[in-house]
Chain A
Amino acid sequence: MTDIPRELTSLEAAAQAALEAAADATALEQVRVRYLGRKGSLAAVLRSVADLDPAERPAVGKLANEAKQRLETALALRREALEAAARAAALAAERADVTLPGRPIPMGRLHPSTQILRRICQIWADMGFQIYRSRDVETEAMNFELLNIPAHHPARDMWDTFYTTVDGVLLRTHTSPGQIRAMREYCPEPIRVILPGMCYRYEQITARSEIQFHQVEGLAVGRHVTMTELKGTLVSFAHRMFGAGRRVRFRASHFPFTEPSAEMDVKCILCGGTGCFLCKQTGWLEILGCGMVHPAVLQNGGYDPAVFSGFAFGMGPERITMLRHGIEDIRYFWANDLRFLEQF
């Protein structure tokens, strides 16, 4: 009987131990060369099989090949394990503290007034209202008389006005002069325009009042423009601006350039109608003034009030922004403090 099987057993055990002990790819390669290489121990054993009795050779040869296969499999597994460990070690070495802050990206932003003006104008554009711009410095006639607000009329008390040193020239108190300008430009075509712009009022600057503020006015003129349409259009606007389910109410009001006149309120966006500081306990927020264009104004715009009718509305974008974001001081808008602007 040959000793080869025993030899194989001890060789295999030694090789397995060496594989286990190999700590890295280099050590593993050395183990492979030593045991599985062409000049390695296993090769030597295999060569000695040739010297055996032919009757013994098949069985012993089989044993030897089986041992070789087992070792090769073990080697591959070990290699994989070592590679995985090396990869893991490399990744571990690159580990970062992911809680460190990101590199700051200096983002640009639009002023909150621009943002709300765009939103408002977009909603109206979708309904076919195009932007019409007009000037800040206006004539008294455009700002008052042609809008059915004669000199010394009690209605004048509704606007505190900045006058300039040029007689009959003032800073517009509302965007309404644009109504006359648009009508005179487009008459006798029908009109759907939206008039955004800066307006001015002679007021002390306080948390609640400013000397300048934006206004967005809308004007529709045609042969069949009605108050039901005014209501329908404004309800659509309110639903897009404040949410589809938002309740809206109209109450009678007075503006010299519209008749009938109304104010539109929406259910308070903070308390939902139960009453809070924002809505002054009324449950409603005043959003805009509106009405059917006064016959005298249509006439001044060149339209025959017996044939044409129109509606108009006006709102304050800064006020809407204040309501939407719970801002309590209107002075923030022109103070341009980054601590305010960066929140939009």
Chain B
Amino acid sequence: MRVPLSWLKEFVEIPLPVPELAERLTLAGLEVADIERIGLPDAALPWDRERIRVGEILEIRPHPNADRLVLATVEYGGGRPKTVVTGAPNLIVGDKGHKVAFALEGARHWDGYSAGRDITTLKGRKVRGVPSDGMVLSEKELGLSDDHTGVLVLDPQAPVGMPLAEYMGDVVLDLEITPNMARCLSILGVAREVAALTGGRVHIPPAQMRADGETVEGRVAVAIADPALCARYAATLIAGVTIGPSPEWMRRRLRLAGIRPINNVVDVTNYVMLEWGQPLHAFDYDVLARRARGVPRITVRPARAGEMLTTLDGATRPLSPERLLITDTAGPIAIAGVMGGAETEVTEGTTAILLEAANFHFISIRKTAQALKLPSEASARFGRGVPPSAAVPAAMRATELMRELAGGTIARGVADCYPAPQVSSVVTLTTEAVRRILGMDLPRAEVQRILTALEFLCEPQGETGLRVTAPDHRLDIGTGVVGAADLIEEVVRIHGYDRIPVTDMADRLPPQRDAAAVDPEERVRDLLAIAGLQEILTYRLTTPEREAALVPGNGQVSPRPYVTLANPISADRVVMRQTLLAGLLEVMAQNLRLRERLRFFEIGPVFLPGSGNELPAEPRRLAIGMAGRITPASWRDPDPCRTDYFDLKGVVETFLQGLHLRAVGFDPATHPTFAPGRTARLLVDDEPVGVLGEVHPQVRAAFDLPAAPICLAEFDLDALLARVPLTYRVAAVPRFPPALQDIALVVDEEVPAAELTGTIRAAGGSLLVEARLFDVYRGQQLPRGKKSLAFSLVFQAVDRTLTDAEVEAEKRRIVEAAAQRLGAELRA
């Protein structure tokens, strides 16, 4: 809502400087988003008080040397009148008496001929041989608009010689209106706020009209089909008007408020809407009378099947029964509160006006404006709620303004159909209730003072209570405990939030609950960051095609159900993800263009649709992605080797260890996303919890990744964390020295290392505390199809130093077991 200060001042005194006023309004919930100054010292284009003044054209003569130019003599209140050369098409030879904005040499103004907004300084010069001593300015040259088609013509009352900044300089407050402040979509509403905040009084503009005509009753009838959809329909009639431009002051205010001036009648409907917040619509009465072949009978009713209306914008619109219509006996004439019909529109030839001031239910208007994509100033106001009480005063005010500006005779009375008059909210508010919510004491007198300043009616009730009746313009006040909360907000808003004291919480601490779902997840994040991985967070919205690219094949998307958006905003964010891998691979592809080494992880939910109307499951997943060199290249090591499956597995083993998960296994596995032979299932307590491996070359290609190993893992984090022990034991540090033994065992190629390690551990018994595989050898020294696995064994007893004989016996037992189970031979 753009509020010109000059307009606001007609309704309320403003005893504060503008910045202070803006701050008070902002703190009270009426946020001033911007302060625009026009012509004043801080404006984008300040008008020089000495050099830009109100002038009067004394004479317009032809230019001796140019047909399109004229010589205008201007009285500007200082010394002798000046004569200027101008080409403005609205200054015609022979005319005189125009009040204009006159600039003297040295004045700064916008360049009217430049496409942009360039400031230039006026210099005296000769135009086609005649000296031009100043300039008559256009709207564009004054910085008021981009209009440079002619000079700005002021109203005849403009005082000659007055600095223009004084005559029409202004400040526009641009207010952000929250839904509860819809009443401030009007100058009057803002004035009420200012009055309450400053202790001032609101001057309500006169809602009277000089009605000299016959009574309105015999000229029009109005009816409402459903009072739930239309609470009130009021109409006035004025005949004998002359359509023409509005005076400059009205056009200026409309423009400052952001509305384009059209003609005097339409401008008045907009002007009074801005003033009162009540949208108005003007019909051509003669067209209505012609359609009715007599007295028009207006009915507000829902559309009937098959009805159509050609609206003001020229579109012919089919109307469904949800659309509320203004109709006459011949059919629809307007879509209620949203747009008028073209046939009954006010045109240049219109001489009689039926002015509508109605009240429509906000939901009906919102639905219609949204469905027809016809947002307007009127539907914005109706859609947020307009008090029915405003209809008649606004109608009278507008009709009178029309009479003043367009002439004509007003029919007596208002045709007013108001079946269910507005009921005011009545709320009981006690100082205890105020204290209970605010935590501070406000005396009843202070509460009453504030509410009265906001035009609430307050009657003391009991010792501490007030019986509060909301004024008609407050539709946002409820009843009961909600109404009390509404009033408390009003009280503290005006009292000032800065005057609320600051205290600590006094209530008892609620029962503390373990954040079981949160803490281990954060531990995983820490462990992976410690392992050198960078956390990423990706979009949770994706496409089925992107996830299908994880499965190499014919590119067909399997028709699996997704949580799917009904209203996606872009084609690449349409469903909720079911894996973290697609997003991760995209991030890797994009970063591999910049980096030689990637280490990423992401933790977050995936979304698995439930059946029917059930909400989806949102299990947490963990994904890891690694690629490129194992360490960053440096001058010490210019060419580190490439990451492969075992680097990934090392990270996985490390973080599982950090979680104190014991029974962890890695089984060879197949998975469409991964390369066969370089893929494993992760087992915890023999339960599969995810997959890790190197990405299948076809998947790599599908994600634009280079032909080098890309290591990827995805785990079911909920399953994993469910197995994290609550606590774990820590063993004593041995006091006796360990015995170290290395052995190399030759086995068939097919024997998995994990199996041999398991056999060694099982055979080693309690004295074997560690069996670490440190070398794998295949080659000339061994027969084909054999490999040698070398282990570093650590033997340790808690109570003594082991003898050589004991260690030898242990080692022999291990070798024998390996030979028996897996055909292993001790390598010489």
Contact = CB atoms under 8 A, between A and B. Distances in A.
A295 B485 contact: yes
A162 interface: yes
B518 A131 contact: yes
B663 interface: no
A166 interface: yes
Contact of A106 (B367, B532, B569, B590): B532
Interface in B520-558: 522, 525, 528-541
B564 A164 contact: yes
A154 B369 CA distance: 13
A338 B537 contact: no
B535 A110 contact: yes
Given A103-B634, A108-B531, A135-B615, A336 B538 contact: yes
B654 to A, nearest CB: 12
B363 interface: yes
Given A252-B27, A254-B29, A228 B439 contact: yes
Interface stretch (B55-63, B409-417, B497-505, B681-689): B497-505
Interface in A300-323: 305-306, 309
A97 to B, nearest CB: 10
Interface string A36-77: 000000000000000000000000000000000000000000
A252 B193 CA distance: 13
Contacts of B366: 152, 154
A90 B408 CA distance: 113
Contacts of B541: 200, 211-212
Give the size category of B's interface with A: 35 or more
A342 B511 CA distance: 40
Contact of A166 (B493, B613, B635): B613
B492 to A, nearest CB: 5
Contact of B29 (A133, A164, A198, A251): A251
A83 interface: no
Interface in A190-229: 190-192, 198, 200, 202-205, 211-212, 220, 222-229
Contact of A165 (B500, B565, B600): B565
A101 B510 contact: no
Contacts of A261: 29, 489
A189 B563 CA distance: 35
A109 B518 CA distance: 19
B26 interface: yes
B31 to A, nearest CB: 8
A203 B504 CA distance: 39
Contact of A260 (B27, B362, B482, B493): B493
B569 A108 contact: no
Contacts of A211: 539, 541, 569, 573
Given A295-B482, A296-B482, A163 B613 contact: no
B325 interface: no
Interface string B605-633: 10100000101101000000000000110
A155 B179 contact: yes
Interface in B488-517: 488-489, 492-493, 497-498, 500-513, 515, 517
B507 A130 contact: no
A169 interface: yes
Interface string A134-171: 01111100000000000011110110001111111101
Given A106-B532, A106-B597, A136-B607, A229 B504 contact: yes
A239 to B, nearest CB: 11
Contacts of A296: 482
B168 interface: no
If over half of A's interface residues share one DSSP class (helix, strand or loop), that class is named, otherwise mixed; here it is mixed
Interface residues of A, number: 90
A263 B313 CA distance: 41
B599 to A, nearest CB: 7
B491 to A, nearest CB: 9
B506 to A, nearest CB: 6
Interface string B467-492: 00000000000000110111011001
A91 interface: no
A228 B500 contact: yes
Interface string B351-371: 000000000001100110000
A29 interface: no
A245 interface: no
B114 to A, nearest CB: 27
Contacts of A342: 534
B570 interface: yes
Interface in A262-296: 262, 292, 294-296
Given A106-B631, A136-B607, A138-B615, A190 B508 contact: yes
A16 interface: no
A98 to B, nearest CB: 13
A232 interface: yes
Nearest to B362: A154
Contacts of B538: 334, 336
Given A222-B507, A232-B504, A261-B489, A169 B439 contact: no
A332 to B, nearest CB: 11
B594 interface: yes
Interface stretch (A4-12, A17-25, A111-119): A111-119
A11 to B, nearest CB: 57
Given A108-B532, A138-B615, A190-B510, 4 more contacts: A106-B597, A118-B522, A158-B179, A167-B613
Interface of B: 26-29, 31, 178-182, 362-363, 366-367, 383-385, 436-440, 481-482, 484-486, 488-489, 492-493, 497-498, 500-513, 515, 517-518, 522, 525, 528-541, 563-570, 573, 576, 587, 590-591, 594-595, 597-600, 604-605, 607, 613, 615-616, 618, 631-632, 634-637
The 8 closest A-B pairs by CB, nearest first: A226-B439, A252-B29, A228-B439, A254-B178, A108-B529, A222-B507, A260-B489, A250-B497
